């Protein structure tokens, strides 16, 4: 069954939140008002009907089209969306309730603070799809992808775990390849065919297709596959 996010009117949204939201809390001298909490642990009963920790993570889930579609296609796996814009999170929580999708949840959180609330080797897939609203070089410091974040991705992924990423910004693509190469522990390949990609399209990806905007999709293994 398809989800219709737009049954619930989307609130007015800024393209991104205040600049401090993209800086890890430990690097800020004081905690700014309106900074999302940085939990060390989460009671999964508060987010998922079955009380089980998520095995899929949608980082920067935005309006949640992908999150909802993936959840519907994998009803026996929990998926958690992380999103830094609070208004969007509150709206998406309402959509998830309206659509009654018990295996999807969204957390108001800035991923630059790592993933301490997830156990090591507990996640099957991390989706980092069109995530960073900071294509300009002068905003480089606000980009979330970094070696410490990749360390966190590698820690929480199980040995067969996969990282999927995509972007329509050539600068961000080059930046992502650079950080991945610096980290050096993921084995990555670009994916062209939808049948090979195997996961639903995101809202941004659909917009790219409608507008004829080129983009790249990459799948990375935590452990290199033996073919
Ligand atoms: C361009 S949208 C893409 C949304 C969705 N993944 C898609 O492909 O349609 C990027 C989203 O990532 C979120 N985001 C950016 N930086 C983030 C961060 N540090 N932590 C969590 N979410 C973040 C933004 O607020 C925005 O909603």
- CA 33 to CA 12: how far, in whole Å? 21
Which fold is adopted by the domain 33-221?
Answer: Rossmann fold (3.40.50)
Parts of the chain with a pLDDT under 70? 1-3, 16, 133-139, 225-227
- Count of residues making up the chain: 227
Place of tokens 């090979």: 196
C-alpha of residue 140 to centroid of ligand 1, in Å: 15
Q: Best of 57, 69, 133 to mutate for ligand 1, by most ligand atoms within 8 A of CB?
A: 133
Q: Domain boundaries in the chain?
A: 33-221
For residue 22 and ligand 1, the question of a CB distance below 6 A is answered with yes
Instruction: Please write the tens of the pLDDT for every residue from 182-220.
Output: 999 999 999 999 999 999 999 999 999 999 999 999 999
Q: Is the beta carbon of 111 within 6 A of some atom in ligand 1?
A: yes
Q: What tokens appear for 124 in the block? A: 């099957």
pLDDT, one tens digit per residue, over 160-182 is 999 999 999 998 999 999 999 99
Residue 25: count of CB within 10 angstroms of its CB: 16
């Amino acid at each position: 069954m398809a989800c219709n996010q737009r049954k619930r009117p989307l609130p007015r949204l800024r393209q991104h939140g205040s600049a401090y939201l993209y800086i890890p809390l430990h690097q800020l001298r004081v905690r700014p008002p309106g900074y999302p909490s940085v939990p060390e642990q989460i009671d999964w009963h508060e987010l998922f009907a079955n009380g089980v920790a998520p095995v899929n993570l949608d980082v920067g889930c935005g309006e949640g089209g992908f999150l909802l579609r993936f959840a519907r296609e994998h009803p026996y796996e929990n998926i958690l969306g992380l999103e830094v814009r609070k208004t969007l999170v509150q709206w998406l929580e309402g959509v998830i309730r309206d659509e009654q999708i018990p295996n999807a949840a969204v957390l108001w959180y800035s991923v630059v603070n790592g993933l301490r609330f997830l156990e090591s080797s507990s996640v099957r897939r991390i989706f980092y799809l069109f995530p960073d609203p900071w294509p300009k070089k002068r905003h480089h410091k606000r980009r979330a992808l970094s070696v410490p974040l990749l360390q966190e991705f590698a820690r929480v992924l199980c040995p067969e775990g996969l990282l999927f990423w995509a972007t329509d910004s050539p600068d961000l693509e080059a930046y992502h390849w650079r950080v991945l190469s610096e980290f050096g522990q993921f084995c990555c390949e670009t994916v062209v065919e939808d049948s090979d990609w195997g996961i639903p399209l995101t809202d941004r990806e659909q917009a790219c297709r409608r507008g004829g905007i080129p983009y790249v999709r990459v799948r990375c293994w935590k452990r290199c596959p033996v073919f």
